Structure 1
Amino acid sequence: MKKLYVVLMSILLVGCNTSEKEVVTVVALKGPTAMGMVNFMDRVAKDEQFDNKYEFSIVTSPDEATAMLVKGEADIAALPANLGATLYNNGGEIKATAINTLGVLYILENGNTINDIQDLKGKTIISAGKGATPEMSLRYILAENGIDPDKDITIEWKSEQAEVLAYLVANEGTIAMMPEPFVTTALQEDANITRSLDLTREWDKLQTDNSEKSALVTGILVARDDFIEDNSQALNEFLVNYEESVNFVNADTAASAQLVSDYNIVPFETAIDAIPNCNITFIEGNALENNLSGYLEVLFNQNPNSIGGVLPDEAFYYR
């Protein structure tokens, strides 16, 4: 429906729109949440003609992206899913417009003994990000599979992903939970390391009998309410072209890896192996609300503060 709207608007505006194009400012985080944008960014850089002008920024800190959104320096932002919900619940006048990245978490092993989620019983898992969404996602998956995360396994916390990576490579038999693209880096550094479990797939297995299925979500696109109200055509054109960019990135890994490298997100050698495992996606409408709300409910049940204290109401979801 949005695609048809954009096409019709483009036809109506041809030859009769003498006003300046709307400038749409977009910010994304360096990593998988920005990878899906690279084809769109490249088309803009090559002066492909759109109804609007687009200015992209890639930042390293979620706080920096949030600050740009709050100050009105960005109209659209790619944020961690729980951060978008937290911002909304704290008075941020924004809406979630699409899911752009599903889960990027994997269980790795320096060895080859973990083939099933049940194989984690009695084991020690090293990870970074204690108290953050990766821990909550892991605890949910374990508990739903009948594994008590406080009794049946041990989680050993490291300060950052680089420390997890170094420990995993140096110690045979180590089991680790890591996100892409660190997973790809680990696999490239040591041939003995295996990608044992895809936690996105494990999450999906748990949804089989659920009438309202959720998903393991990493990143979402949000837009400011005032931008949506004043420039709905610009937002809809952005979403159409963003979806095309996602499709390109998933269809042509080599070309996309080069663009990811060109925009200094991760090196080409990492990107070409990581992109197929980053679960870059585009989900909007009812599926956006169903998948995202279910994920946020899991986080809320473990720690309400992780999403700003309450579950976002329906006004959070763009339709």
Structure 2
Amino acid sequence: MIKYFCLFLLILCSCNKTEKRRNVLHVAVLRGPSVIAFAKMIEDSPEIEGKRLSVDIVDSPEQMQALLIKGEADLAALPMINAANLYNKGLKYALLGCPVWGNLYIVKKKDTDVLSRETNTLHVFGAGTTPDILTRYYLKQNGLTYSLNYSFSTPREISQGLLSGQVQTAVMAEPFLSLILRKDSTIYIQSSLNNPDSLSPGFSQTAIVYAPALQGKRAELDSLLNESCQFAVSQPEQTIRILENRNIFIPGSLTPESIERCQIKYLSTAEAQESILDFLRLIEKYEPKAIGGKLPDNGFMPEKQ
């Protein structure tokens, strides 16, 4: 009798879990600047046709890839090159839009010790990924010559090198950039890597992709994402409180200036198609394997709403 009762409970719990899953749309967001664009959505938990959007923070690209392969995310925010790469490998999540248009900057330490300066070395993280590619593109466009050093593989490691004096010039990303600027007044921003020209919103570094089942909900999702991005830009202090209260960012790691430096603005694929294609062509030119060896086909950016 006990055996049958336990089996009944197991079936009941399974049914409840399935029913709960049906009433929730899971939004996976890679930890980093992308999360800032989702603060209002995290706070409000909006609904689409009775289904609540639940934002889940993902700590690594590998974890994100696993979620998408298993179909456990209905929406996901991840680097554009990862989205294109996964699509080319057969994972048919389509592109909804772009919320973050750049958070990469070259920083330098002031000439506090001329003898110890690395005068022609630029430390870069993420070899073969967006920071590395945009650094090489920026240097070529501006006729600059640096010896690129990849010995520090993450922005955290580079920030520690800058603070310790091991590194003099480096590419940095938010939120680490704000932290080091606050801790060391001898570090300053030399230039931005985020604007290909004066007419562009920036580089479409971040993608929001959606599962095929949400094809008919694109207009509603675009509206919610646009509202959430506008909130981050117009209410930075409140955005910071939301993210800190939920322990997504440690207190003091975000400032209104750091949010501004992330260039948050939601544009749908229809609005940003040319900018997205320009960015993907740039990646294909410098590091084709980063997007799976080719540009994604038209299914990556479907035209029909």
TM-score class, shorter-chain normalisation, is 0.7 to 0.9
Structure 2 vs 1, CA of residues 282 and 27 (structure 1 numbering), >3 Å: closer, same or farther?
Answer: same
Q: What is the aligned partner in structure 2 of residue 296 from structure 1?
A: 280
Among 204, 217, 220, the residue aligned to 2:207 = 220
CA distance in 2, matches of 1:71, 1:49: 23
- Name the residue aligned to 1:13: none
Partner residue in 2 for 1:306: 290
1:160 CA drift (Å): 2.4
How far apart, in 2, do the equivalents of 1:96 and 1:166 lie? 35
Q: Which residue of 1 aligns with 2:3?
A: none
Q: In 2, Cα distance between the equivalents of 1:166 and 1:26?
A: 32
Letter in 2 for 1:307: I
Percent identity, please.
Answer: 26
- By how many angstroms is 1:299 displaced? 0.8
Q: Identify the residue that residue 142 of structure 1 maps to in structure 2.
A: 139
Q: Give me the whole-angstrom Cα distance separating, in 2, the residues matched to 1:173 and 1:63.
A: 29
Aligned positions of 1:167-316 closer than 5 A: 167-171=161-165, 174-201=168-195, 203-205=196-198, 215-225=202-212, 227-229=213-215, 232-233=216-217, 235-272=218-255, 273-316=257-300
Counterpart amino acid of residue 158 in structure 2 = V
Q: Secondary structure at the match of 2:94?
A: strand
Q: Is it true that 1:124 corresponds to 2:121 in the alignment?
A: yes
**1:40 pairs with 2:41:** yes
Say whether 1:104 aligns with 2:126.
no
Partner of 1:82: 81
**Equivalent residue pairs, number:** 274
Q: Give the Å deviation of 1:197.
A: 0.8
Q: Is the 8 A contact 1:214 1:294 kept in 2?
A: no
- How far apart are residue 214 of structure 1 and its match? 8.2
SS at match of 1:128: coil
Partner Cα separation in structure 2 for residue 49 and residue 66 of structure 1: 25
Superposed displacement of residue 263, structure 1: 2.8
Q: TM-score, normalised by structure 2?
A: 0.83
The whole-number CA distance in structure 1 between the counterparts of 2:204 and 2:269 is: 15
Task: Name the counterpart of 2:116.
Answer: none
User: CA offsets, 1:20-44, max 9 Å, x none?
Assistant: 9853111001111111111111012
TM-score normalized with structure 1 length: 0.79
User: Could you list the per-position Cα deviations for residues 252-271 of structure 1 after superposition, in whole angstroms to 9, with x for gaps in the alignment?
Assistant: 11100111212322224221
Query: Does structure 2 conserve the Cα–Cα contact (< 8 Å) formed by 1:214 and 1:293?
Result: no
Distance across 1 between alignment mates of 2:163 and 2:61: 28
Shift of 1:288: 2.3
Q: Is 1:68 the counterpart of 2:61 in the alignment? A: no
1:153 maps to which of 135, 146, 158: 146
Change (3 A) 1:160 1:285: closer
Q: Which whole-Å CA distance do the structure 1 matches of 2:67 and 2:167 have between them?
A: 43
Tell me how far 1:153 sits from its aligned partner. Answer: 1.3
Which aligned pairs between 1:23-34 and structure 2 lie closer than 5 A? 23-34=24-35
Structure 1: how far apart are the matches of 2:133 and 2:28?
Answer: 26
- Separation in structure 2 between the aligned mates of residue 94 and residue 216 of structure 1, nearest angstrom: 21
Cα contact 1:37–1:242 (8 A) shared by 2: yes
Letter in 2 for 1:75: D
Q: Which amino acid aligns with 1:301?
A: K
2:115 corresponding residue in structure 1: none
Larger mean Cα displacement after TM superposition, 269-278 or 302-311: 269-278
Aligned-residue offset at 1:180? 0.8
Question: Does the 8 Å contact 1:110/1:172 carry over to 2?
Answer: no
Q: Distance in 1 between matches of 2:201 and 2:225?
A: 23
In 2, the alpha carbon distance for the partners of 1:133 and 1:112 equals 29
Letter in 1 for 2:208: L
Contact kept, 8 Å, 2:95 with 2:269, in 1: the verdict is no
Report the Cα offset of residue 183 of structure 1: 0.6
How far is 1:186 from its partner?
Answer: 0.8
